[in-house]
Amino acid sequence: MKPYSLMFAGVGGQGSLLIAELTSLAAVSAGFDAKQTEVHGVSQRGGSVETHVRFGEKVHSPIVTPGEALAVIGLEKLEALRFAHYVDPKNGIVFINDYELIPASVTNAENIYPHETVEYLKSKGLRVIVLPASKIARDLGDGRMANVVLLGALSTMLPIPLEVWEKTLKLRIPAKYAEGNMKAYKAGKEMMS
């Protein structure tokens, strides 16, 4: 069995590391070998954060090779664009949170930001799924749960049972946030049905 390769991309504070960790923990709980690694930019200042997750029968490296990811999960449009080259162009999907985070530290950022990210990626023949994850999370009461909305959507592509995802969320998410995150996960999952 070829390992499942996933790339999570966001900026510091969006929770890309958390959903990558949840994916790794769920994969292990489901009986797979899993590896994870991350690269932090200046994440505390809104810099780029990328996380690689690979799981399967036996995984030797956590590093996802460009062009081989089953999915790239972009928590923000620019980050989805920055890491889209990791997706398998024939069988992969780029999940994009319909959210733009304009860098405050960049002069004239609003005018040079790639607002046409989705159209550009589709023009390259990639399968792109845009989800209003930030809006859904805000509607559920906490915009920080956009990452878990995206995780719910991603989970529909993976061979990990719902009960394993639920158990993993309960074990890893602090109790006071567990109910909201479970709702966020289910909302993302339902968007894919």
| 76-116 pLDDT tens trace | 999 999 999 999 999 999 999 999 988 777 788 889 999 99
**Could you give the number of structural domains in the chain?**
1
Residue 103: what pLDDT? 78
Residue 22: what pLDDT? 98
Residue 1: what pLDDT? 77
Residue 32: what pLDDT? 98
The ranges of the chain with pLDDT < 70 are: 40-46
pTM: 0.94
Residue 44: what pLDDT? 56
Residue 108: what pLDDT? 86
- Domain range for 16: 4-191
Residue 42: what pLDDT? 53
For the chain, the three-class secondary structure string (H helix, E strand, C coil) is: CCCEEEEEEEECCCCHHHHHHHHHHHHHHCCCEEEEEEEECCHHHCCEEEEEEEEECCCCCCCCCCCCECEEEECCHHHHHHHHHHECCCCCEEEEECCCCCCCCCCCHHHHCCCCHHHHHHHCCCEEEEECHHHHHHHCCCHHHHHHHHHHHHHCCCCCCHHHHHHHHHHHCCHHHHHHHHHHHHHHHHHCC
CATH number assigned to the domain comprising residue 133: 3.40.920.10
